[in-house]
A and B are shown apart, each in its own frame.
Chain A
Amino acid sequence: MENLSILTHLDYTLMIVAIGAALLGAVSGTLGTYAVLRRQSLLGDAISHAALPGIAIAFLLTGSKTPLILVIGAAIAGWLGTLLILSIIRLTRIKYDSALGIVLSTFFGFGLVLHTLIQRTGNANQAGLDTFLFGQAATILESDVLTIGILGGIAIVIMLVFWKELKVLVFDEGFAASLGFPIRALDILLTSLLVIAIVLGLQAVGAVLMSAMLVAPAVAARQWTNKLSVMMFLAACFGALAGVSGTIISSSASRIPTGPTIVLCATVVVGFSIAFAPNRGLLWDWFRHQRNKHNLKMTASNLLKQPQRGSE
């Protein structure tokens, strides 16, 4: 009986949502790897919040709620926000964190202003703010899965084409510059790829939680390996895993929103990785510590014994 109820839950709609969430997790896990390694984990948070005015302006200009148009608006605003962050850091002594905070909150505030403006015009066709903030994974359709697949695929292909350039940019920016790589152009390329991943995820998990989708899988993957390619592959797997398990858990009980559940699943993966990953993990570290203590004790006692033997 129990099995049967789970089977009926795994219906077509759920499958579509799960596939969408898995694809999304894989794409954001892959591209989030760069953000985490460059210590720009919170850039995703900024981009996703900065996207709101773009959505509102796209809606005000076209009057349509077609996902593609709103996504383009979101992408442009998120991209402009990131450029603003980069130029504030370059031209003033204001640091990364403050620049990020200002752009994130004020872009969002401007979006809120536009949103209330739309509401006031009484347009019944308005875009819901709750959806923007928390996403509505349950409304993922076949066409959305296709969009996520195609755009995410394009982003990953571009990333693979520039693999070597991006790799050297991430690990040694100064070296990349000395080799004559166009650092700023590569920086903007990488940011643009992140923007794509983020606006794809806005519908499913929303702005507030999108940053976790970029950060968590990559942080978890980092614990298991020191190789970029392996880390990226693992991050994609972890992201997909979080997407699928979050979807299934949230559908198995009533009134558990999908987006937050996916984020919590990703957090559990991170916790597990930090605790149990070989070499780096906390448990491993504890064992190594104990063994070292033991070895040191043995060595010390051996050293103490030696002079006694000499005096005999």
Chain B
Amino acid sequence: MQGHLDIQLIAIVTAVACALPGVFLVLRRMTLMSDAISHAILPGIVLAFFFTESLSSPLLILAAAGTGVLTVVFVELLQRTKLVKEDAAIGLTFPALFSIGVILISRFAGNVHLDMDAVLLGELAYAPLNRLNVFGYDLGPVSVYVMGTILLLNLAFILLFYKELKLATFDASLAATLGFAPTLIHYGLMTLVSVTTVGAFDAVGSILVVALIAGPPATAYLITDRLSLMLTLSAVIGSVNAVSGYWLAYLFDVSIAGAIATMTLLVFGLVFLVVPNRGLIAIARRRTRQKWEFAQTMLVIHLFNHERLPEAEAESEIAHLHEHLRWDPTFATQVVKYALNNRCVSQEETLLTLTERGRTVAQQALVQ
């Protein structure tokens, strides 16, 4: 039972720690920088591993985070030459650094016991085995403390520089004019992303970190327009993904990190489908309603135009409406039914007449 709790705790702490800076990456359109960083830290990890021979030493985290920041600098330098666009700069930098890492590993694989899968895919199930012991007391898994510290660091940064981050994200030029140093904020954020990525790769591996960083904020972005709410929601959604992913993995006996990523996709898809106003269902319903509303307006305008004129009787014959309005006959009957339901028209035998309400609708539409 302790194992269950430990793993879920690590998963939640990691997910929240990733989701918080992720919000700003999503809003600043820099999500792929996290993908680049998470791959490019490989040579940093390998080199630091040569010296420390442990995957959870603080030196390793620092070295890897340094490589992450270096990646950001490389990308910016490439962009600044104006010869390479941002996306291509990212696409050039991280595979090159990653390749160096892979070559280092296979060149010196005999001397070190660095498991490639552990770096790339992580294994959450083993994370609780590495425990923090102080004076013989078991204080829980080391990962919780490492990720917990990173989480607090992220939280502190966001709370301290909330106003600056907000302004630099939504209006970088205004932030620069007011002297808020958006470049400094940018590099601060990138350093945090690097540290977070390095801390998280131990648990979920470098590829799935992106799911934790981009997934919950993007899901929250579908729900809300407020930055503070988006941060809170991202943390909640990240935790939900982590816990449900863990139980999915437990149920089917599969990779925990993979299951958390799968849940991230499912939750995103579900929200995408049902969220009010912006969801797929809401969009589809709005489009249908607009279609009928528009047809009804066409109908009342048609009736209004011919009202009290000699041809009115011929023009308001239900059976011939489709000819006047060039509609499909079945569509025309449906529109008539829709308009009758809305009490915009009334039916007298085979003729349609406008109601008071229908007349107002027509007049309003014509004025517009």
A binding-site residues for B, Cβ under 8 Å: 36, 39-42, 44-45, 49, 88, 91-102, 104-117, 120, 129-130, 133-134, 208-209, 211-212, 214-216, 218-219, 222-223, 255-257, 259-261, 263-264, 267, 270, 274, 280-282
Q: Are B261 and A120 in contact (CB under 8 A)?
A: no
Interface string of B75-108 (1 = CB under 8 A from A): 0001001011111101110011011101100110
- Nearest chain B residue, comparing its CB with the CB of A214: B91
When each residue 270-313 of chain B gets 1 if its CB lies under 8 Å from chain A and 0 otherwise, what string results? 00100000101001000000000000000000000000000000
Distance, CA A87 to CA B109, complexed state (A): 43
- Chain B residues whose CB sits within 8 angstroms of the CB of A111 once the complex forms: 258
Nearest residue, chain B, Cβ from A211:
B91
Does A109 contact B259, Cβ atoms closer than 8 Å?
yes
Q: How far is the CA of A94 from the CA of B216 in the complex (A)?
A: 12
Contacts of A98 in B (CB 8 A): 26, 29, 31, 214, 217-218, 221
Q: How far is the CB of B277 from chain A (nearest CB, A)?
A: 11
Contact residues in A for B221 (Cβ distance below 8 Å):
93-94, 98
Residue contact A94 to B87, C-beta cutoff 8 Å: no
Contacts of A99 in B (CB 8 A): 218
Check A42 against B261 for contact (C-beta < 8 Å).
no
Q: Is the CB of A212 within 8 A of B95?
A: yes
Contact among A105, A133, A214, A216 with B261 in the assembled complex (CB-CB below 8 Å): A105
Shortest distance between the CB of A127 and any CB in chain B (Å):
14
Q: Is the CB of B262 within 8 A of A106?
A: yes
The 5 A-B pairs with the shortest beta carbon distances in the complex, nearest first, are: A109-B261, A112-B258, A212-B95, A260-B99, A106-B265
Contact assessment for B35 and A215 in the assembled complex, using a CB-CB cutoff below 8 Å: no
Given contacts A109-B262, A264-B99, A101 and B91 within 8 Å (CB-CB): no
A117 touches B218 (CB 8 A): no
Q: Which residues does chain B contribute within 8 Å of A45, judged by CB atoms?
A: 35, 91
Report the interface size for chain B: residues with CB under 8 A from the other chain: 63
Residues of chain B touching chain A, judged by Cβ–Cβ distance below 8 Å, are 26, 29-32, 34-35, 39, 78, 81, 83-88, 90-92, 95-96, 98-100, 102-103, 106-107, 109, 116-117, 120-121, 207-211, 213-215, 217-218, 221-222, 249, 252-255, 257-262, 264-265, 268, 272, 278, 280, 283
A257 vs B84: C-alpha distance when bound (angstroms): 28
Q: In whole angstroms, what is the CA distance A202 to B85 when docked? A: 25
Q: Which of B91, B100, B109, B261 contacts A110 (CB 8 A)?
A: B261
Q: Which of B99, B116, B210, B261 lies at the interface centre, i.e. has the most chain A CB atoms within 10 A of its CB? A: B99
B129 to chain A minimum Cβ distance, whole angstroms, is 19
Partner of A102, one of B87, B91, B264: B264
Question: Which chain A positions have C-beta within 8 A of B78?
Answer: 274
Most chain A CB neighbours (cut-off 10 Å) among B90, B91, B213, B215: B91
Q: Which single member of B87, B254, B268, B280 contacts A91 (CB below 8 Å)? A: B280
CB distance from A87 to the nearest CB of B (A): 9
Report the Cα distance A94→B26, complex, angstroms.
8
**What is the distance, in angstroms, from A198's C-beta to the closest C-beta of chain B?**
13
Cβ contacts under 8 Å, B249 to chain A: 113
A112 to B265, CA, bound (A): 14
- List, in ascending order, chain A residues with CB within 8 A of B95's CB: 208-209, 211-212, 215-216, 263, 267
Residue numbers in B under 8 Å from A41 (CB-CB): 85, 87-88, 90-91
Closest to B42 in A: A208
Known: A111-B258, A214-B91, A270-B92. 4 other contacts (CB 8 A): A42-B32, A97-B31, A130-B117, A260-B103
A-B contact count (CB 8 A): 204
A101 proximity list for chain B (CB < 8 A): 31-32, 34-35, 210-211, 213-214, 218
Check if A102 sits within 8 Å of B96, measured CB to CB.
no
CB distance from B40 to the nearest CB of A (A): 11
CB <8 Å contact, B215 and A106: yes
With a 10 A CB-CB cut-off, give which of A97, A107, A130 has the most chain B CB atoms: A97
The chain B residue sitting closest to A100, CB to CB, is: B32
Q: A109-B208, A211-B91, A257-B102 are in contact. Are A274 and B255 (CB under 8 A)?
A: no
A108 close to B87 (CB less than 8 A)? no
* Whole-angstrom CA separation of A212 from B81 in the bound complex: 19
Please determine whether B91 and A44 come into contact, CB atoms closer than 8 angstroms.
yes
Return chain B residues, CB-CB under 8 Å to A104.
Answer: 35, 207, 210
Contact assessment for A110 and B102 in the assembled complex, using a CB-CB cutoff below 8 Å: no
**Cβ A109 vs Cβ B265 within 8 A:** yes
Complex alpha-carbon distance, A223 and B209, angstroms: 34
Contacts of A212 in B (CB 8 A): 91-92, 95-96, 99
Flag if B257 contacts A112 (CB, 8 Å). yes
Q: List 23 A-B contacts (CB under 8 A).
A: A40-B87, A41-B90, A42-B35, A49-B207, A94-B218, A97-B32, A98-B214, A105-B35, A109-B255, A112-B261, A113-B252, A116-B255, A120-B253, A130-B116, A212-B96, A215-B95, A216-B92, A259-B99, A264-B99, A264-B100, A267-B92, A267-B99, A282-B81
Specify which chain A residues have a CB less than 8 angstroms from the CB of B88 in the assembled complex. 36, 39, 41, 215, 218-219
Chain B hits for A256, CB < 8 A = 103, 106-107
A42 with B117: CB separation less than 8 A: no
Which B residue's beta carbon lies closest to that of A96? B29
